[in-house]
Amino acid sequence: MSLEKKSKKKPTAKSASKKSAKAPSPQSSGGSNGPFYVLVIIILITIIILLLNKFYENGKFTIPYAKNAPEKSDTVKEKNDSTKNTSSEKLTSADSEKDKKKEDKKPDNEIKKPDEIIPAADKDVSLYFLKLDEKSEKIYLSTVKRKVPEKQILSLTLEQLIKGPTAYEQGKGYITAVPSHLKIRSINIKGKTAEIDFNGVIEEGAAGDILLKRIQQIVNTATQFESVDSIIIKINGQRRKTIGGDGYSIGGPLRR
């Protein structure tokens, strides 16, 4: 009986030893892999902390691609605005071209030629000069035309008379008895009579037919206007009855 029990117990011990050799204990395996898992966990925690620090700004979490979204929308708006501007510029240029074509199509009678554009303030006046008749050898009054401003037309017309005929007019035979250095001191119009005050040059060489023609030139030139039908000649502010060595009468208003 004892031998059978011993034989039965021995196999159980061997089998137990085999089982212990084949299956490692959980304590030995856990002890070898534990540090590796701890290292992996530490690395993951470090990565998470770095990411959190990167995306945490001013107390808020921000996503990188969210910042670029408004910029893209702004660029789209800028493109739309640029296309609108270019289209509006094209429209305005097209409108301007249409307006130019309309102006070109205006009738010729509405377009003023350069020679037809005359200053509105200028007026044609007549200057009375002298001309020699070659056949009769007599000197007579003859007129030439000038353009002078309508404002102060009487004084400006007499100044043109004092300047005398131009070189072209002299070539046509025009002469004058009015001295070129004669000066007008003042003009005063009362009613239709113009009091014209000259300097003393009006008496220079005042003799015979020359003085008569000089007075005629002044009187005819001054009385061509509707506002003046006669003149009174003064010399240096003084009203005189006669002028010149021959005593030509200038006391009353002088008419044509």
Q: What is the DSSP string of the chain?
A: -HHHHHHHHHHHHHHHHHHHHHS--HHHHHHHHHHHHHHHHHHHHHHHHHHHHHHEETTEE--HHHHHHHHHHHHHHHHHHHHHHHHHHHHHHHHHHHHHHHHHTS-GGGSPPGGG---TTEEEEEEEEEEEETTTTEEEEEEEEEEEESTTHHHHHHHHHHH---HHHHHTTEE-SS-TT--EEEEEEETTEEEEEE-GGGGTT--HHHHHHHHHHHHHHHTTSTT-SEEEEEETTEE-SEETTTTEE-SSPB--
What pLDDT score does 177 carry?
A: 96
pLDDT above 70: residue 13:
no
56 belongs to a structural domain: yes
Q: Do 67 and 129 fall within a single domain?
A: no
Structural domain that includes position 154: 122-249
pLDDT level of residue 58 (50, 70, 90 thresholds)? low
Q: Do 165 and 57 fall within a single domain?
A: no
218 belongs to a structural domain: yes
Q: Do 77 and 196 fall within a single domain?
A: no
Question: Based on the structure, what is the number of domains in the chain?
Answer: 2
Q: Do 137 and 183 fall within a single domain?
A: yes
44 belongs to a structural domain: no
Q: Calculate mean pLDDT across residues 221-245.
A: 95
pLDDT above 70: residue 23:
no
Q: Which residue has the higher pLDDT, 187 or 248?
A: 187
Summarised one tens digit per residue, pLDDT across range 172-203 is: 999 999 999 999 999 999 999 999 999 999 99
